[in-house]
Amino acid sequence: MRTRPTLTWEPTGGLPPASTDIGAVVDAVRAGGAVVLSGAGLSTESGIPDYRGEHGSLRKHTPMTYQEFVGGEWARQRYWARSQLGWRAMTRARPNAGHRAVATLAEAGLVTGVITQNVDGLQQAAGARGVIELHGSLGRVRCLSCGRLTDRAELDRRLRAANPRFEAAAERYRAARVNPDGDVDLPDEAVREFRVVDCAACGTGVLKPDVVFFGENVPPERVARCRQHVDEAAALLVLGSSLTVMSGLRFVRQAADAETPVLIVNQGPTRGDRWATHRVDLPLGQALADLVTRVCP
């Protein structure tokens, strides 16, 4: 039986009220030196659902955990079959106004660092450079035995060749909504004949997307790079993250401990609100486009 990861957070009383005025965000970004921490809410306007919003995937979908993935062949078979269809939807997604706004602010020198919890690559596709992918990227695949990194497109070609009839058999599910972790929901009978391939370099290694699964730790050197960005930030700007998991929340706490302003733009309360200097509750595309207009006339 699959167990649901502990991924929820329920707001309690006493949290500061949200605003629909981005004036404080404008002032902080205009002053320069802001570091962005973005979450799944930044990509919802590109057609990729978040985990915990009103229509979040966790309401219907339990994501794969690291322990489950490494613990059994059936789990890996199910993951890669679902991902084979989900990958199509991820590659069709395009950066939205929010992604483009962050890239514009970075190019203007007002944002000096971008940390994203997203694995879709859309922030980089919008033109932002030096993005730290906190949770990795679906565009890469890693061998758990030899460590070789390869492009997801290469694995896509190998899986197509190994499963010539799968896509036709799964055609009825092609319209299924993609999840933030890059797969779609498929019934067991649709994946039983799916063939998983091993690492082409070492011949036997298990292949895993180069992302941090639930239950897996972010690599320490990546955390250290993020902490350095936050240490040097004049303000931390959180965009579209509920901050439910500690991987992102720790940077909010770090900034607050250093008395660095924390500004959150998110639809709905977040676990980091108690440390926020200011929180704005607005759709991100609208809010960030307005922000760019006001700081980059």
Residues that are catalytic = 135
Q: How far apart are CA 242 and CA 53, in angstroms?
A: 8
Please say whether the beta carbons of 63 and 250 come within 8 A: no
| Cα dihedral 123, 128, 130, 133 in deg (nearest 10) | -10
Q: Is 51 annotated as a binding residue?
A: yes
Closest CA to 288 of 115, 120, 100: 100
Q: Is 79 annotated as a binding residue?
A: no
Q: Is 163 annotated as a binding residue?
A: no
Q: Is 120 annotated as a binding residue?
A: yes
Q: Is 265 exposed, middle or buried (0-12, 13-18, 19+ CB in 10 A)?
A: buried
Could you give the count of Cα atoms lying within 13 Å of 82 in the half-sphere of its Cβ? 25
Encode 5-31: b = buried (16+ Cβ within 10 Å), e = exposed: beeeeeeeeeeeebeeebebbbebbee
Q: How far apart are CA 181 and CA 239, in angstroms?
A: 18
Q: Is 66 annotated as a binding residue?
A: no
Q: Is 117 annotated as a binding residue?
A: yes
Q: How far apart are CA 242 and CA 267, in angstroms?
A: 9
Q: Is 146 annotated as a binding residue?
A: yes
Q: Is 143 annotated as a binding residue?
A: yes
Q: How far is CA 167 from the centre of its chain?
A: 26
Q: Is 40 annotated as a binding residue?
A: yes
Q: Is 47 annotated as a binding residue?
A: yes
Which two three-digit tokens encode residue 96? 């939205």
Q: Is 202 annotated as a binding residue?
A: yes
Q: How far apart are CA 196 and CA 80, in angstroms?
A: 7
Q: Is 41 annotated as a binding residue?
A: yes
Q: Is 241 annotated as a binding residue?
A: yes
Q: Is 147 annotated as a binding residue?
A: no
The binding site for Zn(2+) consists of 143, 146, 199, 202
The binding site consists of 39-59, 117-120, 143, 146, 199, 202, 240-242, 266-268, 284
The binding site for NAD(+) consists of 39-59, 117-120, 240-242, 266-268, 284
